[in-house]
Structure 1
Amino acid sequence: MANTPIIRAVVRPFKALFISDAFEGVLLIAVAAAAMFVANSAVADSYHHLFHGELFPSATFKLNTLHLWINDGLMAIFFFVVGLEVKRELIVGNLSDPKQRTLPVLAAIAGMAAPALVYTLIAGGEPNLVRGWAIPAATDIAFAMGVVGLLGTRVPAPLRLFLLTVAIVDDIGAVMIIAVFFTANIKLIWLIGSILVLGAMIAMNRIKVDRIWPYIFAAIVLWYCVLNSGVHATIAGVLAALTIPMHRRDGNSLLENIEHGLVGWNAYLVVPLFGFANAGVALAGMGLPELLAPLPLAVASGLVVGKQVGIFTCVYLADKLNIAKKPDGCSWPEVWGVCILCGIGFTMSLFIGELAFPQYRLLIDEAKIGILTGSLISAILGYIVLRMTTTHPDEKDDPYDPVV
């Protein structure tokens, strides 16, 4: 057909999008936009009731709303995948080499401390807002890598690897923050039960149990015990993941097989559903004063300013002091662009925001506004900087770059 080349030219970018790193990030943008639209539409009450309406009395079971099942139940899968990814990176990945992990670990620490400091400087004067200090400390891997994916091969591989590794270390820090700072009153009997189940899973690893079903059953029991212990239930996902054996007796990787089996469900169901359930904010009655209130301003500033300043300063000083070198073959403007992208804090930031202000719906909504605003600014600004500064020769060979 005569028009086949035209059709292919039109379809090609969309096909490339679905098989590139960009799709997950674009999906999260679409989900957030859909949540905001629905939360401010004629069906806003139905949206709220769907996720927050009681399914049964809380005395029957503490997870008595769909929102709680998503945040405390389904998100355990997200944290399980994070745990698998962290263990793989520590054993055979970029974090296994001391030389390779020095820079991203230092950068991630600085990239968590600086946003927390910026947040505290802006909102720390109000005691009821102090608990939100960790909201801008996390980077969303899928979102950030999605923006990089939109640039194709313009972004050099060492810089992509640096961003990915920083985001993984960032996730480790976020998990530690949740475990230490957002733990409710401890119920000793359930905590002991959690420790015993975790011990049993470690023992299964030691005696080389290499079938997945015993671990799945034990992980569900561990989640139930942790849920009732006062420690946030999603921590069970990370702990369970760390007990999964790296290899089977036949030499195949049990951990990687599980990770590959879950990563699609995690990326295309768990995280989007979490985003849709948590990103919706009713803007009715909110004007500029509300949008520039201390909480949203502190969160957005922490993401946009704190992240890039903290990470870039750390990388620059580490390079100049010969502690660790910046990514090979990358210019300082390119490094700066990736540091800006680290200010995208969608999933973990929304999660921590829910934990920071329990029972305070207005503060949670204000935190969401700051997260969405800061993440959007970081995504756009980072894309522009990288688009203007990355001029690598292989970009002309990228079939997915719509500009080429």
Structure 2
Amino acid sequence: MIQPLRSELMRYLRIETVGGAILLVAAAAAIIWANSPVADTYATVRDTVFGISAIHLDLSVGAWVQDGLLAVFFFVAGLELKRELVVGELADRKKALLPVIAACGGVVVPAVIAAVIGFGAPGMDRGWAIPVATDIAFALAVLAMTGSKIPAGARVFLLSLAVVDDLLAILLIAVLFTASIAIVWLAVSAVCFATYWFAQYRRITTPFLYVPLALFTWYAVHASGIHATIAGVALGLLTRVRKDPGEYEAPATRLEHRIQPISAGLCVPLFALFASGVPMNGEVFGHLFTNKISLAIIAGLLVGKTVGIFGISWLAIKLGIATRPKNLVGRDLFALSVLGAIGFTVSLLVAELALTGAGDQSDVEIAKAAVLVTSLAASLMGSALLLRRGRVHQARRDAIKE
């Protein structure tokens, strides 16, 4: 039973690594496009509205990507979290404790730092949530490219940390960015979720039920006033992850195989394309280290994430509450904590949700620039630390062989 689970984890990591590379290309393309001589076409495409106005689904391209395609990403995240909780690394409560505790520290500390530094700035009543999430695809891509000589426990720890981290961020999105609730549509959403669960319980497998049901569930959640991406993670968590006797694979595994490449290769890169296009001119860089919002984000991600993840992990290990992953030492955990400061997808989403309409539109651009610059800095610092730790581990393995 152990081998299939490990193979599934390795498959997940490979796809997320490729997805992370595509994500970087999409973000770079967005920045180049938004700062090119045809920058006006970027805004034109992003803000083009289409859809069915009669049912209030006439949204801009950017909104469709943010509310629609990103729901697919959160569905995959929900599937992965459910699998990890039931049959994966998080199923062993003792092994799961350290990344769970680390994720909590990596959410609370950045939020407190951002709230204190950004206090009083427009939109920071909710903008303190911008630096709380670690980008799974981006962080795993950096780890795969620069941490190949680090023990496998590092990948498991970072994946588990990022999954729990994103779950907490999803809960914050649901709480902070629900302006008003349409009770009728909320009830319809609950019926949809119950129907999905019952279909799973009755072992129904036909896509002719699930595809329309998923689409209508998304619409019901969107119409209820709750951010539509919540529909994705909720459906993921309701999907069955244990296979029945004689069944080749569980529904969650089957759906991950089919949907995760679409999420990592299309949905998330498209979100990055339409979320990362911020002007990188002298004015933006001039405000980057003077604007309260950008300083809150930079400090929250770079300092808060690193201190929160590593500090609470060190304390939990010292107190005997949790155990360190096999073959990893404190310096390895510190390098991984720095990677936790890569806050890309969800941080950009929260910046858009929290700051749009709260003040000057330039604040949104500055906040996104702060996320991009800090994520780049964290990836470079984390890469340097991982390469150094990799050489240490390789030297240790070579010494044992001799």
Structures share a fold, TM > 0.5? yes
Give the letter for the 2:348 counterpart.
L
Cα pair 2:284 2:366 within 8 Å, conserved: no
Q: 2:321 matched to 1:314? A: no
Matched, 1:351 2:352: no
CA contact (8 A) 1:112 1:170 kept: yes
Q: How many residues in Structure 1 have an aligned counterpart in Structure 2?
A: 380
1:59 Cα deviation from its structure 2 partner: 6.0
Would the aligned equivalents of 1:20 and 1:149 in 2 still touch at CA under 8 Å? no
Tell me the secondary structure at the aligned position of residue 55 of structure 1.
strand
User: Matched residues in 2 for 1:395 and 1:368: separation?
Assistant: 41
Q: Cα gap change, 1:249/1:198 in structure 2, threshold over 3 Å: closer, same or farther?
A: farther
Query: Any conservation in 2 of the 1:210–1:249 contact (CA below 8 Å)?
Result: no
Q: Deviations over 1:300-352 (max 9, x none)?
A: 11111100101111111111111112222222211111100000011111111
Q: TM-score, normalised by structure 2?
A: 0.89
Contact kept? 2:192, 2:217, Cα under 8 Å: yes
List runs of 5+ in structure 1 lacking aligned partners. Answer: 1-17, 398-404
Instruction: Measure, in 2, the Cα distance between the counterparts of 1:289 and 1:48.
Output: 23
* Change beyond 3 A, Cα 1:63–1:57: closer
Q: Which segments of 5 or more consecutive residues in structure 2 lack a partner in the other structure?
A: 1-12
Deviation at 1:386, TM superposition (A): 1.5
Of 266, 272, 277, 1:275 maps to 272
Deviations 1:361-402 (A, max 9, x none): 3222121011101101110001111112232238999xxxxx
- Matched with 1:7 is none
The correspondence for 1:160, drawn from 147, 152, 155, is 155
Change (3 A) 1:358 1:59: farther
Tell me the distance in 1 between the aligned counterparts of 2:376 and 2:73.
22
Which residue is equivalent to 1:386? 386
Which residue of structure 2 lines up, in the alignment, with residue 236 of structure 1? 231
* Separation of aligned partners in 2, 1:281 and 1:96: 41
Following superposition, the deviation at residue 106 of structure 1 comes to 0.4
Alignment map for 1:3-402 (pairs within 5 Å): 22-55=17-50, 61-126=56-121, 128-246=123-241, 247=243, 250-251=246-247, 252-284=249-281, 286=283, 288-292=285-289, 293-360=291-358, 361-390=361-390, 391-393=392-394
Alignment RMSD, CA only?
2.1
Cross-structure match for 2:5: none
Q: Which amino acid aligns with 2:279?
A: A
CA distance in 2, matches of 1:362, 1:281: 9
Identity %: 39
**CA distance 1:218–1:369, change in 2 (3 Å):** same
Aligned match of 1:6: none
- Report if aligned partners of 1:337, 1:382 keep a CA contact under 8 Å in 2: yes
Task: Provide, for residues 58-110 of structure 1, a one-character-per-residue CA deviation record: whole Å limited to 9, x for no partner.
Answer: 56634421111111111111111111111111110111111111111000000
Q: Secondary structure at the match of 2:213?
A: helix
Q: Conserved in 2, the CA contact under 8 Å of 1:343 and 1:378? A: yes
CA contact (8 A) 1:153 1:394 kept: no
1:162-211 superposed Cα distances (whole Å, 9 cap, x missing partner)? 11110011111111111111112111111111111111112222223233
How far off is 1:227 after superposition?
0.8
